[in-house]
Amino acid sequence: ALVGAMHGGCCVVNFGDVKRNDFSDCNIRAEMDITCTFTEHKSMAYGADWLQNTANTKCERESMIAASCSFYDQKIFLWNTAQNSPR
Model confidence at 50, in pLDDT bands (50, 70, 90)?
A: very high
| Bridge partners (DSSP) listed for residue 69 | 47, 76
pLDDT at residue 78 in the model: 93
CA distance readout (Å), 29 to 14, 17, 75: 13, 8, 34
Q: What is the reported pTM? A: 0.68
> Does pLDDT of 86 surpass 50?
no
- The closest of 67, 73, 72 to 47, measured between CA atoms, is 67
